[in-house]
Every structure is written in C-alpha cells, then in structure tokens.
C-alpha cells in the first residue's frame, strides 16, 4: 500500500478528530455506511453521491481471452464489475481551468 492511500482506519481517525466522538462509535458508523453503500451497489447496481460521483455495477458477458504465459485461448466467464464516475463538480475541482 502506498503512503498516499487513505485507509478505513484513517477515515475513522479523521472523523474522530473532527467530531471528538468515541472512536469505537465512529468505527461502527463508518462500517455501517460502507455496508449500506455495498448493499446498494449489489442490489440496485448504482449509488449516486451528489458532488462526489456515482458507483455503478454492470454485468459483463463471457468473452474470449488468452493465457499470457501459455498463449492458450480461453473463455473468460461472465462477471459483474463496478466502476466509479466522478461528478462534474468534483472533476472540475480536480482539474481547475487556470
């Protein structure tokens, strides 16, 4: 993991510092929030957070692939993938015009 990665423990610590709430309570709230987010993506296939972005899951069909070590042709099974798309507002904050 790189030094620039914000972990779940880091989130808990930052929220604890800002709110002065019990660290254990903050940890449970972060866990609950992440659980709600995961269930939403699993069930509804999308999760929109205004001003931040949208998580979307979609089904990919099976497709032909190749084992890079043996060059053998294989069929990759169907799967569900999740993508994140930045909101326009957040994208403009990351890429200011000047």
| Three-class DSSP category at 40 | helix
Within 13 Å of residue 16, how many CA atoms lie on the same side as its CB?
14
pLDDT by residue for the chain (98 residues), tens only, comes to 457 899 999 999 999 999 999 999 999 999 999 999 999 999 988 999 999 999 999 999 999 999 999 999 999 999 999 999 999 999 999 998 85
- What structural domains does the chain harbor? 1-40 (no CATH), 45-98 (4.10.520.10)
> Cα(76)–Cα(60) distance, rounded to whole angstroms?
10
Q: Which of 82, 79, 83, 42 is nearest to 61 (CA)?
A: 79
β-bridge partners, 65: 74
pTM of the predicted protein model: 0.76
Residue 14: which residues within 8 A CB-CB, separation 6 or more? none
Beta strands in the chain (DSSP E): 46-49, 53-60, 63-66, 73-76, 79-86
């Amino acid at each position: 993991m790189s030094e620039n990665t914000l972990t779940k423990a880091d989130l808990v610590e930052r929220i604890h510092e800002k709110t002065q709430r019990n660290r254990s309570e903050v940890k449970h709230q972060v866990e609950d929030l992440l659980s709600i987010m995961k269930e939403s993506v699993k069930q509804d296939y999308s999760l929109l957070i205004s001003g931040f972005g949208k998580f979307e899951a979609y089904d990919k069909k099976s497709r032909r692939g190749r084992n890079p070590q043996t060059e053998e042709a294989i069929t990759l099974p169907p799967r569900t993938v999740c993508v994140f798309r930045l909101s326009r507002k957040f994208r403009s904050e990351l890429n200011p015009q000047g």
